[in-house]
Amino acid sequence: LMLDLEGTRSNREAIGALVRVTTGSVTQTRLQDGGVHHRSQNHPRLHVGLGGNTTIDKITVHWPSGTVQELSGIKADQVLHIKETE
């Protein structure tokens, strides 16, 4: 699963957003740091490995603005664009 975050109340790049992805009994956490590293830059897209799982039970995004957004029943193997709710 790949995630592109877009902030509305938070900064547009969603820098500082914390994302939790739950499949079965496993929860993975990713921090949107912008993809900038020493002397290089990576794509800011977040990647989450799901193994053999075909659906995600829950995605929780903690936006820098304090908003918490939850999505459920998401299919695996896609690029998902998540826009902060206002």
What pLDDT is recorded for position 53? Answer: 92
Its pTM stands at: 0.89
Categorize the per-residue pLDDT at 86 as very low, low, confident or very high, splitting at 50, 70 and 90. confident
Distance CA 71, CA 55 (A): 12
Is residue 8 predicted with pLDDT exceeding 80?
Answer: yes
In 3-state terms the chain splits into helix, strand, coil percentages (rounded to 5) of 0, 50, 50
Task: Using alpha carbons only, give the angle 64, 66, 69 rounded to the nearest 5 degrees.
Answer: 95
